[in-house]
A and B are shown apart, each in its own frame.
Chain A
């Protein structure tokens, strides 16, 4: 483990692309080998799988008519952006999907590659690449059925560029799943002060409150870049039980499912169902 650390200090980061924030990369560098300790710094992300994997799985199952026994996501091509150590890529791979995990930090990719290497099924289904999203756009136009960007958008430098790139690599009518943190007083108190400084649920300095994304801002960006937002749900972490659950309010963590509009017909600003307005109202109420 000591040699791994020495190696990390010497290798420079690849930071030349707009959505990657080099300050953010430094924070994750130090923890690159801690991803797979289920009780360690990333324990909350491990337990988040208990709600985000079923969310992705059930949404995709409800949209498709095929079902392969034992492999519900068989045939689905997924891009896991900001995959870190592969915490979300692996379960998706086990469910049958072909997963490409990308992360700008080479050490994360190294950890992820090493972890999957012992399982021949995963080793085949999951591929990792040290790269930013922009770097793969050209070779991956309209390649993926699904993109998951979980706990990522609060770390990117330019969210609009990020979303635009997502749209480019996604097939028409493909799905985009995002989980992130809202920017509210409550999320400052609970998400930064309590989670980082007091309880150590998240390593200190992981998040910057200013970069948290309110759902209405995210929805607006999505819709003006060719996406139709289908679902927005609030998430709640219980530090005592170490488990996540869904909740009405989006004032802390939340998840989004959006679909890229098909080749014909864009979903324009006129396509605003009343449920969006209701969600916006409840989001702003939560932010107060």
Chain B
């Protein structure tokens, strides 16, 4: 994580923009006279039609100051119809924070999500497999802490809201961008000042601002030669849709830190939960290969077994707990027991490798990175897509103001404001997530004690918990 901190330099306002405006491959000479045959010009092109790219295009499309602007969204895959949600739950779900819900409702998408299906949760219980230490997150007021929503549900809502502004936002399906040509920053003579985009089928587009929302292997980022600090964790995440032994309120999100990695149960309904189990590649493959009964047993054992406790840690933990309870009697809340799992949806098991990444710059002249293209985190904090939605809220705010000022949308001046705001927010969270991941990947007594006590203190002290 120190590598992360060192590599991400906040931009000093006084520093010249020289390095950002360095000459890159020149745009082909194209005189203004041939404007008639020039590729279509958009105000904004969003590359990548996943949750973050689609939400970005929808947010701008619904913005009052973009009423007369032309926006394009490029998506490599085909258009998916989401008219009917299957009865079974999809195995790819996201934990949506209240802030993200606010963004989605700002352009009418949250209503659609609510009318499809989602599961609010009020509480998060996080605990350690090596000790009794536990932390419970709960909101004092009766609001929800967050929502578990299937990614397909979010995409369905976003697609609907994009259709609603089809006069402003053109969505290109089956359109992969294969090449980008960057303009010189202060152009003269006959070179086009816009970003040129070439699609796989040979079509070309021009844009005043390119937003790269094309995931952690972002082509936009690579073509813009933006350095990316990345690290592959030796872990894969196993996902599955599970059915609980008995119906329950199921409004708690559970996460237990095993030495091999965290296992999480995210509520989908009173009888179903989604599994996200981060573990070694070998163990992940085993989990996928084993029969359904063994798989369910492994999950229950992971949540209930005390095999990783040591007497030493238990005693030390208990002593510490009684010490704090003397200082703050109401400090530790009631420990709930996680539900037990009865069966797994057939064909719902899948795995994908985990890594961490952070782009050293989020912006350049006429280019912005958002979502996983800019930053990739471990799922243990449930933050991934929320960081992307946070990027969207911030960027849409700055672009809206720029449009209302008649500014050139691709100008670095307001793009840098976005970058500063988001880097400040993202870097600490990404670094903290990385630290947590490493801290919890061990059985070594001193580190376990450290995190045990740390967790207990954090649990006992309300102000710290609220900040989280």
List residues of A whose CB falls within 8 A of some B CB. Answer: 1, 33, 36-40, 47, 49-50, 53-54, 57, 69-72, 90-96, 114, 117-120, 240-242
CA–CA, A16 and B107, complex, Å: 57
Interface contact A91-B186, CB-CB below 8 Å: no
Are A117 and B66 interface neighbours, CB within 8 A? no
Chain-A contact segment, one of B209-217, B298-306, B401-409, B438-446 = B401-409
**Size of the chain B interface, CB-CB below 8 angstroms:** 33
| Known contacts A38-B411, A91-B406, A92-B406, A240 near B14 by CB under 8 Å | yes
Which of A33, A47, A72, A93 meets B188, CB within 8 Å?
Answer: A33
The answer to whether B67 and A38 touch across the interface, beta carbons within 8 angstroms, is no
Residue among A38, A118, A242 with most chain B CB within 10 A: A118
Q: Which residues of A contact B411 (CB under 8 A)?
A: 38
> Are the CB atoms of B186 and A36 closer together than 8 Å?
yes
Cross-chain pairs A/B with CB under 8 angstroms, 26 sampled: A1-B188, A1-B189, A38-B17, A38-B411, A40-B186, A49-B405, A49-B406, A57-B406, A69-B64, A69-B67, A70-B67, A70-B69, A70-B403, A91-B406, A92-B406, A93-B406, A95-B404, A114-B32, A114-B188, A117-B32, A117-B35, A118-B193, A119-B41, A120-B41, A240-B14, A241-B13
State the Cβ distance, B409 to closest chain A Cβ, in Å.
Answer: 9
> Which residues of chain B come closer than 8 Å to A50, judged between CB atoms?
405
Chain B: minimal CB distance from A239 (Å): 10
* Cα A241 to Cα B354 with chains together (Å): 41
Contact with A along B90-116 (1 / 0, CB 8 A): 000000000000000000000000000
Report chain B residues within 8 Å CB of A72. 404
Determine which of A39, A93, A118, A241 lies in contact with B35 in the assembled complex, contact meaning CB atoms within 8 Å.
A118
Residues of A within 8 A of B185 (CB): 37-38
Determine which of A57, A70, A90 lies in contact with B68 in the assembled complex, contact meaning CB atoms within 8 Å: A70
A33 to B188, CA, bound (A): 8
CB distance from B167 to the nearest CB of A (A): 12
**Closest chain A CB from B206 CB (angstroms):** 9
The A-B contact count (CB < 8 A) is 74
Residue of A nearest to B14 (CB): A240
Judging by beta carbons under 8 Å apart, are B66 and A70 in contact? yes
Whether A71 lies near B406 (C-beta < 8 A) is: no
Q: Which residues of the other chain, B, contact A120 by a CB distance below 8 angstroms?
A: 35, 41
Q: Is B123 positioned at the interface, with any CB of A under 8 Å from its CB?
A: no
Query: Quick check: is B465 within 8 A (CB to CB) of the other chain?
Result: no
Secondary structure dominating the interface of A: loop
The list of the 10 closest CB pairs from A to B, nearest first, reads A70-B67, A91-B406, A117-B32, A37-B186, A94-B406, A70-B68, A69-B67, A95-B406, A36-B186, A53-B405
Evaluate contact between A39 and B16: CB separation under 8 angstroms: yes
Given A40-B186, A118-B32, A119-B41, also A47-B65 (CB < 8 A): no
Q: Which of B79-93 contact A (CB under 8 A)?
A: none
Interface residues of B in 401-422 (CB under 8 A from A): 403-408, 411-413
* Distance, CA A118 to CA B36, complexed state (A): 11
Contact A53 B41 (CB under 8 A): no
A38:B192 contact, CB within 8 angstroms: no
Q: Chain B, 9-25, contact with A by CB distance < 8 Å: what is the 0/1 string? A: 00001101110010000
Known: A36-B186, A39-B16, A94-B406. A118 touches B194 (CB 8 A): yes
Which residues of chain A are near B403, meaning CB under 8 Å? 70, 94
Pick the contact of B413: A47, A53, A91 (CB < 8 A): A47
- Residues of B at the A interface (CB closer than 8 Å) are 13-14, 16-18, 21, 32, 35, 41, 64-69, 185-189, 192-194, 208, 403-408, 411-413
Query: Which residues of chain B have C-beta atoms less than 8 A from A54's C-beta?
Result: 405
Roughly how many angstroms separate A40 CA and B35 CA in the complex, as a whole number?
28
Q: Which residues of A contact B192 (CB under 8 A)?
A: 118
Partner of B65 from A1, A70, A92 at Cβ < 8 Å: A70
A113, closest chain B residue (CB) = B32
Closest to B408 in A: A90
Residues on the B chain within 8 Å of A117, using CB: 32, 35
Contacts of A242 in B (CB 8 A): 13
> Once the chains are docked, how many angstroms separate the CA of A134 from the CA of B194?
37
Bound together, the chains give a CA A240 to CA B15 distance in angstroms of 10
- Min CB distance B401 to A, Å, is 10
Given B66, B189, B194, B407, which contacts A91 in the complex, CB threshold below 8 Å?
B407
Distance to closest chain B CB from A113 (angstroms):
9
Contacts of A36 in B (CB 8 A): 186-188
Q: How far is the CB of B216 from chain A (nearest CB, A)?
A: 32
**A39 touching B17 by the CB < 8 A rule?**
yes
Separation in Å of the A100 CB from the closest CB of chain B? 16
- Pick the contact of A70 from B32, B35, B64 — CB < 8 Å? B64
In the bound complex, how far is the Cα of B14 from the Cα of A287, in angstroms? Answer: 31
Q: A39-B21, A70-B66, A94-B403 are in contact. List 11 more A-B contacts (CB 8 A).
A: A38-B185, A38-B186, A49-B406, A54-B405, A70-B65, A70-B67, A72-B404, A114-B32, A117-B32, A118-B193, A120-B41
Chain B CB within 10 Å, residue with most, of A38, A93, A240: A38
In the complex, A9 Cα to B209 Cα: how many Å? Answer: 37
Which residues of B lie under 8 Å from residue A118 when comparing CB positions? 32, 35, 192-194
Q: Which residues of A contact B194 (CB under 8 A)?
A: 118
* Neighbouring B residues of A114 by C-beta, 8 Å: 32, 188
Determine the residue in chain A with the shortest Cβ distance to B63.
A70
Once bound together, how far apart are the Cα atoms of A241 and B18, in whole Å? 16
CB nearest neighbor in A for B41: A120
User: Is there an interface contact between B406 and A53, defined as CB atoms closer than 8 Å?
Assistant: yes
Closest beta carbon of chain B to A17's beta carbon, Å:
29
Closest B residue to A88 by beta carbon equals B406
CB distance from B44 to the nearest CB of A (A): 14
Measured CB to CB, the closest approach of chain B to A242, in angstroms, equals 8
Contacts of B65 in A (CB 8 A): 70
Q: A70-B66, A118-B193 are in contact. Are A90 and B406 (CB under 8 A)?
A: yes
Give A53 to B411 CA distance when docked, in angstroms: 16
Q: B176 to nearest A CB, angstroms?
A: 26
- A1–B191 Cα distance when bound, in Å, is 13
> From residue A134, how far is it (CB to closest CB) to chain B in Å?
29
Cβ–Cβ < 8 Å partners of A38 in chain B: 17, 185-186, 411-413
- Set of chain A residues within 8 Å of B13, measured between Cβ atoms: 240-242
CA distance A94 to B18 in the complex (A): 27
* Alpha-carbon distance A91/B411, docked complex (angstroms): 12
Expressed in whole angstroms, the Cα–Cα distance for A237 and B354 within the complex equals 48
